[in-house]
């Protein structure tokens, strides 16, 4: 495809569902997710890759949706926080965040849960260093991180603290 027209027609899979959209070339993936698809669980903090609030999974891997053009997601699989639960059941990581009190204002939470999901998919039993590394692209202004780390550890050990 060497389309040079202004708006671009793209197709991508978001939370398991195929979507078609026509987007401006300069629209970010974050704008597509929030403004076109109405999935507002994904947050915009800094818009520059620093805070991780906009993190989504692209083909299972965490990326900053503020630093991707929507057109770059053409043909890819995207999971947002709205796609984390399974058949109305919370993901064990979501439940563990609740159980450990790892959510205060909640602005960082969607991104963190997705990074944690990607981690546990790769390493079901991560050690503390793995966990810290996996969440190092996220800023949380409220919790001081300890509860978040505990929550991820809890989810990894099947919900036990």
Partner 1 sequence: METFRYSVPRSVEEALHLIKEEGQAAKLLAGGTDLLVQMKEGLFRPSLVVDIGSLHQLRGIRKEEGFIWIGPLTTHHDLAHSALIQRHGLALAQGASKVGSPQIRQRGTLGGNIANASPAADTLPPLVVLEAEVQVSSLTGSRWVPVESVMEGPSQTVLRPEELITAVRFPVQEKGFRSQYEKFGSRRALSIAVASVAAGAYQEKGCVKKITIALGSVSPSIVRASQAEELLTGKALEQSLIARASTSAGQACCPLDDVRGSIWYRRQLVAALLARILQSWMNDE
Ligand X SMILES: Cc1cc2nc3c(=O)[nH]c(=O)nc-3n(C[C@H](O)[C@H](O)[C@H](O)COP(=O)(O)OP(=O)(O)OC[C@H]3O[C@@H](n4cnc5c(N)ncnc54)[C@H](O)[C@@H]3O)c2cc1C
Residues at the site binding partner 1, with contacts judged by CB under 8 A: 1-4, 6, 8, 24-26, 28, 47-50, 52, 55, 58, 61-64, 66-69, 71-72, 74, 115, 133-134, 136-138
Residue 44 contact partner, candidates ligand X, partner 1, ligand FES, none, CB within 5 to 8 A by sort of partner: ligand FES
Q: Residue 139, exposed/middle/buried by CB under 10 A (0-12, 13-18, 19+)?
A: middle
Of the pair 31, 91, the CB lying nearest ligand X is at 31
Instruction: Note the Cα 84 to chain centre separation in Å.
Output: 9
Run of H or E including 131: helix 128-134
Tokens encoding 101: 């009190």
Residues touching ligand X, count (CB under 6 A): 3
Q: Which pairing describes strands 8-14 and 55-58: parallel, antiparallel, or unpaired?
A: unpaired
Of the pair 123, 141, the CB lying nearest ligand X is at 141
Residue 70 contact partner, candidates ligand FES, partner 1, ligand X, none, CB within 5 to 8 A by sort of partner: none
HSE-CB at 41 with a 13 A cutoff on CA atoms is 17
Residue from 50, 72, 95, 104 that binds ligand X (CB under 6 A)? 50
Of the pair 50, 77, the CB lying nearest ligand X is at 50
**Contact flag: residue 106 with ligand X (CB under 6 A):** no
Q: Which residues pair with 14 in a beta bridge?
A: 17, 78
DSSP-derived 3-state class of residue 49: coil
């Amino acid at each position: 495809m060497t389309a040079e027209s202004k708006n671009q027609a793209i197709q991508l899979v978001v939370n398991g569902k195929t979507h078609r959209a026509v987007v401006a070339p300069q629209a970010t993936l974050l704008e597509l997710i929030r403004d076109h698809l109405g999935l507002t669980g994904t947050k915009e903090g800094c818009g520059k890759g620093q805070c991780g609030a906009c993190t989504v999974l692209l083909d299972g891997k965490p990326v900053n949706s503020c630093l991707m053009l929507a057109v770059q997601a053409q043909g890819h699989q995207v999971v947002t926080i709205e796609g984390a639960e399974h058949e109305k059941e919370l993901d064990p990581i979501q439940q563990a965040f609740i159980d450990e009190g790892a959510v205060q204002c909640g602005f960082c939470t969607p991104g963190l849960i997705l990074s944690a999901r990607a981690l546990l998919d790769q390493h079901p039993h991560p050690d503390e260093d793995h966990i810290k590394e996996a969440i190092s692209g996220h800023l949380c202004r409220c919790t001081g991180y300890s509860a978040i780390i505990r929550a991820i550890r809890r989810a990894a050990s099947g919900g036990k603290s």
